[in-house]
Amino acid sequence: MALTFIHRYEPAQPSAPAGSPLLLLHGTGGDETDLLPLGRMIAPRAALLSPRGKVLERGMPRFFRRISEGVFDEDDLTRRTNELAEFVGEAREAYGLPAPVAVGFSNGANVAAALLLLRPGVLAGAALIRAVVPFREPPPADLAGTPVLVLSGAADPIVPAADSERLAALLTEDGAAVRHVTLPAGHGITREDVDLVRDWLPA
């Protein structure tokens, strides 16, 4: 079965306990290999599914188009989010997987947030590293009990602290079980991010 995204899949270790696979969603300029080391650090025995974003911005892969820094093409975001949701369904069928927990960074975290809002139930949870609210007028979503970790950086020059706070509040209003942590960090992933995601991951 040919899947609709270029991706890497690493099966769970044979001795791994039953649990959610990770859907690894890279930032701008990454690819399907970018977050595999992170996946192995936070969940050494879990199955890993890591697609490559289909949009190119100056040759750099992304999951959806933006008009300028911080201004998203929301029509494209909606279409690409639905494409990604369909890919997750394809991959679950092809590889025999339960619903995954997304671990997204920057652009990947934003598309994971869009998945939560547009396609509730596709994800079993999400760790959103340096994410914003992806829509100007977010659609209502039933996220009752869905675990979400939002990690923001106090010195992030790209994602203002208020944007991360708004995202955490929005997901909480939609019923998600949200933990929001602001780290003494910039936009990049730090060791503390890794530790927090590993300790948070649902069983």
User: What is the predicted pLDDT for the residue at 166?
Assistant: 96
Going from N- to C-terminal start, the domains of the chain cover 7-200
Catalytic member of 31, 73, 180, 187? 187
User: What is the predicted pLDDT for the residue at 70?
Assistant: 76
Q: Tell me if residue 187 is catalytic.
A: yes
Query: In this structure, what token pair is assigned to residue 73?
Result: 């093409």
Nearest to 95 by CA among 31, 147, 53, 50: 50
Catalytic member of 34, 156, 174, 193? 156
Query: Mapping DSSP to helix (H, G, I), strand (E, B) and coil, where does residue 93 land?
Result: helix
> Mean pLDDT score of the chain, rounded to an integer?
94
User: What is the predicted pLDDT for the residue at 24?
Assistant: 98
DSSP symbols for 12-43 = PPTTPPS-PPEEEE--TT--TTTTHHHHHHH-
Q: Grade residue 16 by pLDDT with cuts at 50, 70 and 90.
A: low
How far is it, in rounded angstroms, from Cα 84 to Cα 53? 9
How far is it, in rounded angstroms, from Cα 135 to Cα 15? 41
Q: Tell me if residue 152 is catalytic.
A: no
CA of residue 171 relative to chain centroid, distance: 14
Q: Is the domain 7-200 a CATH 1.20.1270.360 member?
A: no
Q: What share of the chain is helix, strand, coil (3-state, %, to 5)?
A: 30, 25, 45
Catalytic member of 20, 106, 152, 164? 106
CA of residue 34 relative to chain centroid, distance: 13
Q: Which residue shows structure tokens 């208020």?
A: 162
How far is it, in rounded angstroms, from Cα 111 to Cα 77? 8
User: What is the predicted pLDDT for the residue at 154?
Assistant: 95
Query: In this structure, what token pair is assigned to residue 12?
Result: 């769970």
Q: What percent of the chain has pLDDT over 90?
A: 90
User: What is the predicted pLDDT for the residue at 69?
Assistant: 77
Q: Grade residue 17 by pLDDT with cuts at 50, 70 and 90.
A: low
Tens of pLDDT, residue by residue over 119-146, are 999 999 999 999 999 999 999 999 999 9
User: What is the predicted pLDDT for the residue at 127?
Assistant: 98
Tens of pLDDT, residue by residue over 52-105, are 999 999 999 999 999 987 789 999 999 999 999 999 999 999 999 999 999 999
Determine the average pLDDT of the residues in 150-172.
95
Radius of gyration of the chain (CA): 15
How far is it, in rounded angstroms, from Cα 118 to Cα 136? 13
DSSP 194: H
Q: Tell me if residue 15 is catalytic.
A: no
CA of residue 141 relative to chain centroid, distance: 17
Q: Grade residue 51 by pLDDT with cuts at 50, 70 and 90.
A: very high
With 90 as the cut, is the pLDDT of residue 148 above it?
yes
User: What is the predicted pLDDT for the residue at 71?
Assistant: 84
48 touches 8 (CB < 8 A): yes
Q: Grade residue 14 by pLDDT with cuts at 50, 70 and 90.
A: confident
